[in-house]
Structures are given as C-alpha cells and as structure tokens.
Amino acid sequence: MKKNVHTKLKKNDTVQVIAGKDKGKSGRLLRIDRDKGRVLVEGINMVKKAQRRRSQNESGGIIEIEAPIDISNVMYVAKDGKPTRLGFRDEGGEKVRFARRTGETV
C-alpha cells in the first residue's frame, strides 16, 4: 500500500490513461487520493454497482460509476492534446507548473 504519494496533478486537470483497459482515453480528474496513490477520472474505469433504493421516489438497481485507477497510469494532457510530464519553475518569484514537452505554463 502506497503512503502519501507526491504528484504534480491537480483536481480538474485533463489526463490521459497510459496503461490498462482504458488506455488512450482521456477525462477530467475528479478526485486524488494521495494516501492510496489512486485517482478518479471522469468516464474512465466504469464498473457496475448494485445500489439499494434509499427513498420512495429514488430508484435502485444496477448503476455504472467510475472506479479509482492507479496514479501512475495517467498523464497530464497538454493544450495540443498529447500527454506530457509536468514540472515546476520559478516565474517572477512565483512557483508555476509547466508542461515539460512543450514548455508552456499550465
């Protein structure tokens, strides 16, 4: 079990899956779990779950939800649509993220 994984990714970043059953697909980061080293990506790793009805007007049954995937299996997508690594640099006394492949500020 991983503990306190360091990542340069942030919530709402667009990422692409680079390994696994959804390889090549991209989506928006919904949640990052640094303790377990896993991320939740919108529309990726969909699993079926049986859900019980909570109230009279709410329907139960089998629903599809996103399941977490390992953080090492996703990469940030730059503005040109290609995956890239991220880095930090100092711009005018301010620490900013930048795409390593293109050099543009994120």
pTM for the structure as a whole: 0.85
Provide the β-strand partners of residue 26. 16
Residue 96 lies in a domain: no
pLDDT tens readout for residues 34-82:
999 999 999 999 999 999 988 888 888 999 999 999 999 999 999 999 9
CA nearest 41: which of 76, 81, 88?
Answer: 76
CA distance 37 to 1: 8
* CATH number of the structural domain spanning residue 24: 2.30.30.30
* Domain hosting residue 70, numbered range: 14-78
Residue 49 lies in a domain: yes
- Identify whether the C-beta of residue 21 lies closer than 8 Å to the C-beta of residue 41: no
Residue 84 lies in a domain: no
- Count of domains forming the chain: 1
Q: pLDDT band for 4, please (50, 70, 90 cuts).
A: confident
Residue 35 lies in a domain: yes
